[in-house]
Structure 1
Amino acid sequence: MDSVKKVTAVVEASKDGFGIYVENDDLPLTSFGSTIEAAKKDLADVLKEMVQSYKKADLPKAYNGGKIEFVYKYDIGSILQHFGVFDTSALAKRLGINASLLRQYKGGLAKAGPKQKQKIQTGLHNLGRELLSIKM
């Protein structure tokens, strides 16, 4: 019996919505949607269609028979656009980065390097922990 295979799927923002692609060359899957949820649903549908196509063509079992769990990785623009609750200037100040640069990341006009991505990710995780600690 095949076990569930974890596969990294990258979510990227565009001016029209969100695209997702799988990083694994053995699984050339892509999807698109006006929201991240729609793009994720589309990716699941694409996987299902590919598995069915392989079965109909009597080809060897592919795509792990559909037993795949997507682990999503987001680009900076998709996070900021998806949540839409962050004031870019305030977030940049909190993260200790230039607000203009963060706006460029959000709009896809610039790509953050590994160190900058880590700084933003750490800052967002710290913010998340602070929010989780709130008692009302």
Structure 2
Amino acid sequence: MKALTVIIERTENNYSAYLAEVDGVIATGHSIDEIKANIVNAITVLLEDCREYGEEIPEELKGDYSLTFKMDVKSFLDFYTGIFTKAGLERITGINQKQLWHYASGGRAPRPEQIIKIETALHKLGEELISINL
């Protein structure tokens, strides 16, 4: 199964997404769920149009594929600003709040090691949360 990457970025009024491997597959939305639904719809429309007009289906969309969603740190911090405080993120990532503010404002891009640190902490938190039953 091929893994295709959906890149999600912050825009002025919402979030936009595009399929990295296939030109022209784009979507917008105000939430991750909306982006996911809209990008799947955009792929479906492209496949239907290719069939209807006798166009070649992009190789990446032939057969089975899965979608992986990727967001840059600035867009992530903006999207989840009402859920994660900088203090809370500092506790789970070990990255000080001042650095996180730089990343959130776009004033400074995190080094690859910092991105991995943030992603690892978030995945660990997700694993912990999913294991809890109330």
Sort the TM-score into its range (normalised by shorter chain): 0.7 to 0.9
Normalized against structure 1, the TM-score is what? Answer: 0.75
Question: What residue is the counterpart of 2:51 in the other structure?
Answer: 55
Consecutive unaligned residues of structure 1, counting only runs of 5 or more, are: none
Using the TM superposition, give the Cα deviation of residue 118 of structure 1 relative to its aligned residue in structure 2, in angstroms: 0.7
Cα deviations by residue, 1:51-98 (Å, 9 ceiling, x for unpaired): 122122212233635854211122223433444321112312432213
Question: What residue is the counterpart of 1:16 in the other structure?
Answer: 13
Aligned to 2:88, the other structure's residue is in SS state helix
Question: What residue is the counterpart of 1:111 in the other structure?
Answer: 109
Question: What residue is the counterpart of 1:88 in the other structure?
Answer: 86
Give the number of equivalent residue pairs. 131
C-alpha distance 66-104 of structure 1, shift in aligned 2 (>3 A): farther
Normalized against structure 2, the TM-score is what? Answer: 0.76
Question: What residue is the counterpart of 2:72 in the other structure?
Answer: 75
Query: C-alpha separation between the residues in 2 aligned to 1:49 and 1:94?
Result: 41
Conserved? CA contact 1:48–1:66, under 8 Å:
no
**Cα RMSD (Å) of the superposition?**
2.6
Query: C-alpha separation between the residues in 1 aligned to 2:99 and 2:91?
Result: 11
